Amino acid sequence: NAGVIQTPRHKVTGKGQEATLWCEPISGHSAVFWYRQTIVQGLEFLTYFRNQAPIDDSGMPKERFSAQMPNQSHSTLKIQSTQPQDSAVYLCASSGGQGNTEVFFGKGTRLTVV
């Protein structure tokens, strides 16, 4: 079990460019979460899928952020027209689904917008 895999580990984009972050959840897990981590805001919930369906995106900035889960083995977080304030570590996590189950995090993608 390789755990939750996130790629790339580091990404640098120019202001205004698009960034796509990838996540491979643990095989068999039905729930996938995206979080954003910064020193100022800590860990912020962005969005949540269950069985590939979007369940809650209440934490997503509406205009430039989007997330998809086209199949059970990967999810993507896309940020259009990146801004310096988007610089953060983006963490993907997965769990077995509903109920009292543990959430496992990936190592994160550090996005730097210059």
Partner 1 sequence: GDSVTQTEGPVTLSEGTSLTVNCSYETKQYPTLFWYVQYPGEGPQLLFKVPKANEKGSNRGFEATYNKEATSFHLQKASVQESDSAVYYCALGENNYAQGLTFGLGTRVSVFP
- Exposure string of 4-38, with b = 16+ CB inside 10 Å and e = fewer, is bebeeeebebeeeeebebebbbbeebbbbbbbbee
Indicate whether 22 belongs to the interface with partner 1 (CB under 8 A): no
* Total residues interacting with partner 1, rule: CB under 8 A: 27
Indicate whether 98 belongs to the interface with partner 1 (CB under 8 A): yes
User: Strands, E, within 4-98: which ranges?
Assistant: 5-7, 10-13, 19-24, 31-38, 42-50, 53-56, 65-71, 74-79, 88-95
- Other C-beta atoms within 10 Å of 103: how many? 13
Indicate whether 4 belongs to the interface with partner 1 (CB under 8 A): yes
CB of 83 to partner 1, least distance (A): 22
Q: Which of 42, 71, 84, 85: binder of partner 1 (CB under 8 A)?
A: 42
Indicate whether 71 belongs to the interface with partner 1 (CB under 8 A): no
CB of 57 to partner 1, least distance (A): 11
CB of 86 to partner 1, least distance (A): 19
Q: Which of 33, 60, 65, 75: binder of partner 1 (CB under 8 A)?
A: 33
Nearest to 59 by CA among 73, 77, 39, 72: 77
Q: Which of 67, 95, 111, 113: binder of partner 1 (CB under 8 A)?
A: 95
